Chain A
């Protein structure tokens, strides 16, 4: 599963790093580092991370569980 985080949107709430620590890591207080490709056995953690992102910044392959943020991607800026 491939993923990308829109780091312009990311505000460092770290929900993903709590919920999927094998994929996402905080680097310092606010910077996010993530693995751009993860194995299928991380899908449950990934679904949690994608859903929990308060700014809906995590995008994954469309055929992956958890899907993607809604079409209103500009909202809430």
Chain B
């Protein structure tokens, strides 16, 4: 029975509700069968391994190439670019992350995210204003998808007139990360490759421009700002921009969509949020526990034999850390399957932990808080048209592909 669990998790049929499978998984805290990965699903084990320096994020330390990993195809979002810091160990990881952080956050840019507040709110308002037919809204296509792409454009400094092109590349790349099993693989690969190339060339051009005439945007500063760690090469800037785009975008879409879905399933919380926008703060934290946008971390490996709960995981093994299962571990959270923003203790694994913890977390938090509180405030009597909604293929970056909802009208 347990043999099939991993296949069941990957199986699209279980995408809408993988949580019973995670519960099953937690019964074997270090799960392993045949030549598959070692799968960790308990909160404390995952938390420890995320801080364990014997664990590497660099695929070159895997004993068998990453293609043996059933999630490799979906997870592999980088092509000819050098690996981004997500897939590197210290000291390279630390150096690139510090350099990327320089124009983004404290200590060098302490107010960047905080000051985006007004702009984020404007984007949210604009998207809600644009909803034309309250009888049938696809929250994904009309809201949660365009929102983070626009935010990343503004953050990177993509000129307004280019935003539409940027959106279209992002859409194509996102679709390639979420293959429809029926589609023509060669054709899909070609389209995706073209989009990546075009986006890469576009960004490379923009980097050149910004090097000559830098602005206050992140791309300018990534390309020019020199600190103790030096200046990034064009390839490094490209790779970092691609990471910000993919990792920052896909996850935020899911956070917002999962959020609205969960609120619509918990109308009492939705009603409270409508009356008190400040509730969005604990709501988003509880969402990150309850429906984390990144369900599992599939790309870690062991630098040596390690022992977890009496099981030896050999050197070079592939590890899956199932964050979404840890977040529902009853050893850590009381009544874990209940969505409860009032639980005082929400120390979730939704953004990971340790040195690779989500780079864009503060921005994602603000985006989701603003999006959900504004949706709650402005949609009159919103309701789900399909439950469960159709999901995306991706088991790692899990979320609805569409979220059809209806409401009685849009409040000003």
Contacts and interface: CB of A to CB of B under 8 A. Distances in A.
Within the complex, are A and B direct neighbours (CB within 8 Å)? yes
Interface of A: 13-15, 17-21, 25-29, 44-45, 47-48, 51-52, 54-56, 65-72, 75-76
Chain A contact residues: over half helix, strand or loop, or mixed? Answer: loop
A17 B285 contact: no
Nearest to B361: A15
A51 B362 contact: no
Interface string B332-356: 1000000000011111000101000
Interface string B104-136: 011100110110000000000000000000000
Given A17-B110, A18-B106, A21-B114, A71 B345 contact: yes
Interface in B332-391: 332, 343-347, 351, 353, 357, 361-363, 365-366, 369
Interface residues of B, number: 29
Given A70-B343, A70-B344, A72-B345, A54 B110 contact: no
Contacts of B369: 48
Interface in B43-83: 44, 47
Contacts of A28: 107
Contacts of B114: 18-21, 45
A48 B281 contact: yes
B345 A54 contact: no
A26 B106 contact: yes
Contacts, number: 83
A54 B362 contact: no
Contacts of B98: 29
Contacts of A19: 113-114, 362, 365-366
B107 A75 contact: no
B102 to A, nearest CB: 10
Nearest to B112: A18
B366 to A, nearest CB: 7
B111 to A, nearest CB: 5
Nearest to A53: B347
B106 A21 contact: yes
Nearest to A50: B281
B282 interface: yes
Contact of B347 (A27, A45, A54, A71): A54
A18 B113 contact: yes
Given A52-B285, A67-B344, A69-B345, A75 B361 contact: no
Which A-B residue pairs are the 5 nearest by beta carbons?
Answer: A70-B345, A18-B362, A70-B344, A26-B106, A26-B107
Interface string B85-112: 0000000000000100000011100110
B326 to A, nearest CB: 11
Nearest to A29: B98
Contacts of B285: 51-52
B345 A51 contact: no
B233 interface: no
A75 B332 CA distance: 8
15 contacts: A15-B365, A18-B114, A19-B362, A19-B366, A21-B110, A26-B107, A51-B282, A51-B285, A52-B285, A56-B345, A66-B281, A68-B344, A69-B347, A76-B44, A76-B347
